[in-house]
Structure 1
Amino acid sequence: MKRFAAALVALIWFTLPVQAAVDVQTVETPGGIKAWLVEEHSIPFTALEIRFRGGTSLDREGKRGEVNLMMATLEEGAGEMDAQGFAEARDDLAASFNFNASMDTVSISARFLSENRDEAMALLRQAIMQPRFDADAVERVKGQVASILRSKATDPGDIASEVFYKMAFGAHPYGSDDNGTFESVEGLTPEDMFAAKDRVMARDRLYVGAVGDITAEELASLLDDLLGDLPETGAALPETVEPALMGGLTVVPFDTPQSVVLFGQKGIKRDDPDFIPAYIANEVLGGHGDSRLMEEVREKRGLTYGVGSYLVSFDHAEMILGQFSSGNEVVAEAVNVVKDEWAKFADKGLTQEELDLTKTYLTGAYPLRFDGNGTIARILVGMQMDGLSPDYIKTRNDLVNAVTLEDVNRVIKRLYNPETLTFVVVGSPEGLQTN
């Protein structure tokens, strides 16, 4: 029975059709918890996404990695169950719980069948409200984190990210690895796990999205039972920080046949009125396979297998970032091509043809994002955290289509600055040195 139920859940999770229309309801529970809901009763299954603003940026001084470790240990036993007992109870219900931490959020993703809803949520409540954080479980997960840190120390891409973010953000939490260091993680205790949970899991920073076989009334009751006893307030959020990217190139020597290059500059806030034009601009420059950077660096010159750029909108900082890898003998040429394209883009902007093609691509691809209950639940939470309205899904393509060539080129002039474009190169690049 367990094997059949698990197979059914897997089938549901991975074969749901693309949603043609997403009708978002806003829900407020009797206890005051707010959520967004998309009802879909064709399959007896629900996806629940719970997210708390703050994330690993709320680590206490000297305890870097505590929030990450706490989330990784959260399901290692709850109530009367140890780690094995909790896992068996979850599997018997054919449910799935994922606990994740990132720089700005911690999240809980739950998937469960309608027939097991009450039991699955009772089990999840134990993980949230009655975690054990047994000393042996904490030590076991600390070992896993240490393994991750050892791996990252020998990965040129991870080294490039560590150096770049340290340059950009310094002592701000964004400037360090949210896994922590060997020393900080080694010093963490079960008591630190309980303290970290109370810092990040509070109702004043809670966002919820639900998709599937559940009504608004059922969801309201579920959420009050599941989350109603959380603390009202959590730790203060960190300060806003300006990325200290003033241009130049930093080379980090590393013995590898290919150099990894990370480049970027200051970006744009998600709630900026110019965000949609900026998003279109980045799509032309480096956002997809037909972008200018791909054309110039890969297609014309064969200097890399792939290069791209993207907008990064943290809660407290913004950047435009890009990355590629090239052979040590050609990476200097590739860096110069990126610099040249960035400068041309800042100076000349894009063409009407590029704008029209990008609009067609973006508006056509957007509905494809809504390809399953879990994905939609995550999108609903992200929209709430970005301050968007429930009808954004229906109006987003209109916003894209409304952007004019004048709009996007004005934003390019405002945003792109080749003088502050900053590079970090990890490898043994020929003809490149720190400047």
Structure 2
Amino acid sequence: MATKLSLREGFPVLVLALFASLTFVLPAQAVEIQRVTSPGGIEAWLVEDHTVPLVAMNFSFEGGSVQDPEAKQGLTRLLAATMDEGAGDLTSEDFQARMEELAISISFETGKDRFYGSLRTLTSTLPEAADLLTLAVNEPRFDAVPVERMKAQLSARARRNQTDPDAIAGRALADAMFDSHPYAHATLGTVETIEGLTPEDLSAHHGKLISKSALTVGVVGAIDAETLKPILDKVFASLPEKSDLKPVAEVEPDLGEEVHRELSVPQTTILVGLPGLKRNDPDYQAAYVMNHILGGGSFTSWMYEEVREKRGLSYGAGTSLSPYEHSALLIGSAATKAERAGETVEVMLEQFERMATDGPSEEELRAAKQYITGSYPLRFDSSGKIAGQLVALQNSDLGIDYFERRNAEIEAVTLEDVRRVARRLLTDREPTIVTVGPGQG
């Protein structure tokens, strides 16, 4: 059988090397975005660059794993795994062989709130790539044999997650903070729910999810607007106008619960959860800078310094912001010896309290902003990354000029902004704490 093409896994080594060699670096300020609308009304954001003969397209549809029914968790993830496993009159083997022959990559994946797809192709094979993508988006086959093969792969991963401390901790945190909300569902699904999924489930779910409703498209590379327009119509114009999505409620994460999952492993994994900020919150950039200082800045962050460098409690400790469409989290994480788990949690909570009461110094703020603005061009060192950024900007409604504004917004964050958002996020809130590992004693 032909090797399944994906830029993330299983992509033939020579082809992967070819695509890697065709990347380019564009400063964020130099990215000129065109708003392209096809005759059929499909809009895309385009960055035209003819430096290399490569075209990258990313796109997304409204509705991700939150649309999975309770008893069919993993359905959207399986949909992503099977949409390129045969389409139209091409079987799975034929479809994969055709992509491999032409050095084309088509892949799909899902998040909590949106369903994503991508195309990578050389300009010389763009017409064939557009044909294959059109089939995959509009006419996936969901034949029994490849569906069962993909189910087996996802089930094996779900089974491994049952003994993986990070996966167990993540599931426990989601359960504790989101309770019965769909955000608590396992995006991958469970061994039991995956087993029950059928080709008929996939076909019905595809009909509900894949539509022009809230479609966003980003395209980067050696292609102009007039060439792109008929491709947009070919791939997307025949889709239904509206998705058939169930409404998803806003949810405020639950706080104050302490959860321990017993697991016979050398270390204890720790997660500390608090509510965060959505991406469109006016305080988000200040929160982003604050998080960098607190734990997002790796070797320079407070968490790393206090947990690892000063006390040797963990190889690494940090924090991250996780904005969703209907909620948001701020998560601290670390792993340590079981007998020192309590001490590690205390040190982590001390950093939260220190940020809420004292905040950073002017020098720490200056260094954080310098790093954040200086590293921003790394998000633009390949066509695929830029295409992904174009989709993300549209999904978050940040505006077509965001690349030009972003660093100025970071530079405008003041010490009082950081201290204000720290008080907003960290004061008078009892975090949810999850530990996974040996008994704590």
Give the structure-1-normalised TM-score.
Answer: 0.95
Matched, 1:404 2:411: no
1:104 offset after TM fit, Å?
1.4
Matched, 1:225 2:234: yes
User: CA deviation digits over 1:229-266, x for unaligned, max 9?
Assistant: 11111123542333433224221111111000111101
Aligned to 1:180: 189
Aligned to 2:220: 211
Aligned mates of 1:98, 1:238 — CA distance in 2: 27
Secondary structure in 2 aligned to 1:244? coil
Q: Is the 8 A contact 1:58 1:235 kept in 2?
A: no
1:82 offset after TM fit, Å?
1.2
Aligned to 1:78: 87
1:226 offset after TM fit, Å?
0.8
Aligned to 2:7: none
Aligned to 2:72: 63
1:404 offset after TM fit, Å?
1.2
Aligned to 1:364: 374
In the alignment, residue 329 of structure 2 is paired with which amino acid?
M
| 6 and 218 in structure 1: CA distance in 2 versus 1, 3 angstrom threshold | farther
Q: Is the 8 A contact 2:292 2:301 kept in 1?
A: yes
In the alignment, residue 297 of structure 1 is paired with which amino acid?
V
Aligned mates of 1:124, 1:104 — CA distance in 2: 22
Aligned to 2:103: 94
| Aligned with 2:149 (options 140, 145, 169) | 140
In the alignment, residue 237 of structure 2 is paired with which amino acid?
G
In the alignment, residue 309 of structure 2 is paired with which amino acid?
E
Aligned to 1:200: 209
Aligned to 1:415: 425
Give the structure-2-normalised TM-score.
Answer: 0.93
Aligned to 2:286: 277
Aligned to 1:339: 349
User: CA deviation digits over 1:354-388, x for unaligned, max 9?
Assistant: 11111111110111210100010001100110101
Aligned mates of 1:165, 1:9 — CA distance in 2: 35
Aligned mates of 1:17, 1:128 — CA distance in 2: 28
| Aligned with 2:25 (options 12, 18, 21) | 18
In the alignment, residue 363 of structure 2 is paired with which amino acid?
E
Aligned mates of 1:353, 1:196 — CA distance in 2: 52
Aligned to 1:47: 56
Aligned mates of 2:22, 2:428 — CA distance in 1: 45
Aligned to 2:160: 151
Aligned residues between the structures: 427
Q: Is the 8 A contact 2:106 2:117 kept in 1?
A: yes
- Of 412-421 and 273-282, the range deviating more from structure 2: 412-421
Aligned mates of 1:123, 1:11 — CA distance in 2: 20
Identity of aligned residues (%): 40
Aligned mates of 2:307, 2:22 — CA distance in 1: 37
Aligned mates of 1:11, 1:126 — CA distance in 2: 25
Q: Is the 8 A contact 2:66 2:185 kept in 1?
A: no
1:395 offset after TM fit, Å?
1.2
| 429 and 285 in structure 1: CA distance in 2 versus 1, 3 angstrom threshold | farther
Secondary structure in 2 aligned to 1:48? strand
1:284 offset after TM fit, Å?
0.5
Aligned to 2:322: 312
Aligned to 1:387: 397
Secondary structure in 1 aligned to 2:335? strand
Two-structure CA RMSD over aligned residues (Å):
1.6
In the alignment, residue 35 of structure 1 is paired with which amino acid?
A
Secondary structure in 2 aligned to 1:49? strand
User: CA deviation digits over 1:66-108, x for unaligned, max 9?
Assistant: 1111111111111222111111111111111111112112111
| Aligned with 1:348 (options 350, 358, 367) | 358
Secondary structure in 2 aligned to 1:273? coil
Aligned mates of 2:179, 2:258 — CA distance in 1: 17
Secondary structure in 1 aligned to 2:313? coil
Aligned mates of 1:349, 1:88 — CA distance in 2: 56
Aligned mates of 1:74, 1:23 — CA distance in 2: 32
Aligned mates of 1:44, 1:256 — CA distance in 2: 49
Aligned mates of 1:418, 1:281 — CA distance in 2: 18
Q: Which runs of 5+ in 1 are unaligned?
A: none
Q: Is the 8 A contact 2:313 2:340 kept in 1?
A: yes
- Of 140-149 and 181-190, the range deviating more from structure 2: 181-190
- Of 175-184 and 323-332, the range deviating more from structure 2: 175-184
Q: Which runs of 5+ in 2 are unaligned?
A: 1-11
Q: Is the 8 A contact 2:24 2:383 kept in 1?
A: no
